[in-house]
Amino acid sequence: MIGLGLIGGSLLRAAAQAGREVFAYNRSRDAVRAARDEGFEVSENLSATLEHAEASNAIIVVGVPMPAVDAMFDMISQLAPQCTITDVVSVKGAMLDAARHHGLAERYVGGHPMAGTAESGWAASFPELFQDAAWVVAAESDTDPGRWRDVAQLALDCGAFVVPANAADHDRAVARISHLPHVLAETLAIAGEAGHDLALGLAAGSFRDGTRVAGSSPAIVRAICEPNATALLTALDEALDELQKVRKSLADNGTLGDLADRGHAARSRYENVERTPIEDISVGEDGWAEKLCEAGRRGGVVKSLDALR
């Protein structure tokens, strides 16, 4: 595990609890010390960690922020030339580009566990973070099927279920359900604060929940949203269209138009989203990656690799 933030730290704990052999690198000494005190094998020495990974044929999980990925891929290509590489970074297109740029595409399988809290860092990590969470394991037309299975098994061992998706579909989806929520939460917080103490003092559940993720560190919000700027822009433009429509309705006749009906129907659909097990695809068969992605688009998930044909 490269990087022991909330996600990386929780992954280390969850994989260890599942009985897997785990070791980690982290840049800051405090987290290294804290993790060691709990009995984990953690180093501040990146080269030694990558050499250890290569020697033990480990899966390398990259858990550093996007801006640090290029340097990390550079080191991996030099010091761990055989290992399977995955990651927990929240954008997959830019990661895939970076992997290709560094000649790592044939052993890279993108990953994204859809879990988190408002906290960050090793101190906030816990092994149950991924329990029953969705974990995207990216399948591209050139993904190695054996490595895909290995990465999927890691996600399953951590308690998650696997959602297959290619990088482009992933990025468009998370723009809607993760990055746009951040933009709207920040915007709502700003609009509330402009009402000064009276407005903030009257704020109850709708404002509290609607601004919750604005409590995340601005640096983390930027690191999550900005590498996905193109897809986020598309989702934001759709939201702006909706808001302009309701603005016009409020101005013209003092009503919300059909916004509340459509929003309520959408929320109900979210609450009742069905995750159907994918069973009729064999990883490695002709067109397996496209078939998995198509099944994922229809709400399919993998809860066990044995269930796949």
- 3-class state of residue 107 by DSSP: helix
How is residue 179 annotated by DSSP? I
What is the radius of gyration, based on Cα positions, of the chain? 21
Among 12, 154, 301, 308, binds a second copy (CB under 8 A): 301
Contact between 127 and a second copy by CB under 8 A: the answer reads: no
Residue 27: CB partners within 8 Å, gap ≥ 6? 3, 44
Among 53, 232, 278, 289, binds a second copy (CB under 8 A): 232
Among 18, 124, 203, 305, binds a second copy (CB under 8 A): 203
Residue 241 buriedness (CB in 10 A; 0-12 / 13-18 / 19+): exposed
Contact between 31 and a second copy by CB under 8 A: the answer reads: no
Specify the residue for token string 């929520």: 181
Among 261, 279, 280, 285, binds a second copy (CB under 8 A): 261
Among 27, 36, 264, 309, binds a second copy (CB under 8 A): 264
Sign of CA dihedral 276, 148, 181, 173: negative
Contact between 131 and a second copy by CB under 8 A: the answer reads: no
| x-or-dash string of contact with a second copy, 266-285, rule CB under 8 A | xxxxxx-xxx----------
- 3-class state of residue 135 by DSSP: strand
Q: Which stretch binds a second copy (CB under 8 A): 50-58, 145-153, 227-235, 278-286?
A: 227-235
Q: How many CB atoms lie within 10 A of CB 144?
A: 17
- 3-class state of residue 171 by DSSP: helix
Contact between 157 and a second copy by CB under 8 A: the answer reads: no
Q: Which is nearer to a second copy, 96 or 232 (CB)?
A: 232
Q: Which is nearer to a second copy, 75 or 188 (CB)?
A: 188
Contact between 133 and a second copy by CB under 8 A: the answer reads: yes
Contact between 172 and a second copy by CB under 8 A: the answer reads: yes
Among 73, 148, 178, 302, binds a second copy (CB under 8 A): 178
Q: What minimum distance in Å lies between the beta carbon of 257 and a second copy?
A: 10
What residue ranges in 9-91 does DSSP mark as E strands? 24-25, 42-43, 59-62, 84-87
Q: Which stretch binds a second copy (CB under 8 A): 28-36, 48-56, 139-147, 241-249?
A: 241-249
Structure tokens at 260: 């509340």
Which residue in 239, 238, 231 sits closest to 188, CA to CA?
Answer: 239
